């Protein structure tokens, strides 16, 4: 068995998750809030158990970030989604490691981070919490 040296003593998936989070933080800092994000922020300020088109956690998370962190910038509003996005990427790793082995498990978070659908894990969109829940079922 060949031992691969790990940079700074961390596992490769931890390094991928950290770099993925850093990349998404940079994107969150640079991009302004979009129309859907403004809608989610406005609707999420009134706490309700039901919304017309999405589950409530996706709306509540940015509103709670605003209340708890005092978030008044796009990056602040997106903080919960950045962490949920990292959880989502980790769940993808676990799923594909089980299905296709370690190599597939390691490539999946890299591809998910840089795909065109990666905005799901950056922007304040209510679908992210639902996606994390579905990925956790697999």
Mean pLDDT score of the chain, rounded to an integer?
79
Arithmetic mean of pLDDT, 99-110:
89
Arithmetic mean of pLDDT, 65-79:
82
Alpha-carbon torsion (116, 122, 127, 130), positive or negative: positive
**pLDDT by residue (tens digit) across 17-66?**
999 899 888 888 888 888 888 888 888 777 777 666 677 777 788 888 88
Residue 51: Cβ within 10 Å count: 16
User: Is residue 126 predicted with pLDDT exceeding 50?
Assistant: yes
- Residues 75 and 29: their CA atoms lie apart, in Å, by 5
User: Is residue 5 predicted with pLDDT exceeding 60?
Assistant: no
Residue 76 tokens, joined = 């602040």
User: Is residue 87 predicted with pLDDT exceeding 60?
Assistant: yes
28 in Cβ contact with 75 (< 8 Å)? yes
């Amino acid at each position: 068995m060949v031992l691969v040296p790990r940079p700074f003593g961390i596992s490769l998936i931890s390094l991928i998750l950290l770099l993925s989070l850093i990349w998404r933080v940079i994107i969150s800092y640079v991009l302004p809030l979009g129309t859907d994000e403004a809608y989610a922020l406005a609707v999420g300020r009134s706490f309700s158990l039901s919304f017309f088109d999405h589950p409530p956690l996706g709306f509540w998370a940015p509103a709670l970030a605003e209340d708890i962190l005092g978030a008044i910038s796009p990056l602040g509003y997106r903080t919960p989604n950045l962490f949920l996005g990292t959880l989502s990427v980790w769940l993808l790793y676990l799923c594909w490691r089980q299905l296709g082995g370690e190599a597939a498990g390691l490539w999946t978070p890299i591809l998910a981070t840089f795909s065109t659908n990666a905005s799901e894990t950056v922007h304040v969109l209510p679908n992210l919490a639902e996606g994390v829940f579905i990925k956790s079922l697999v």
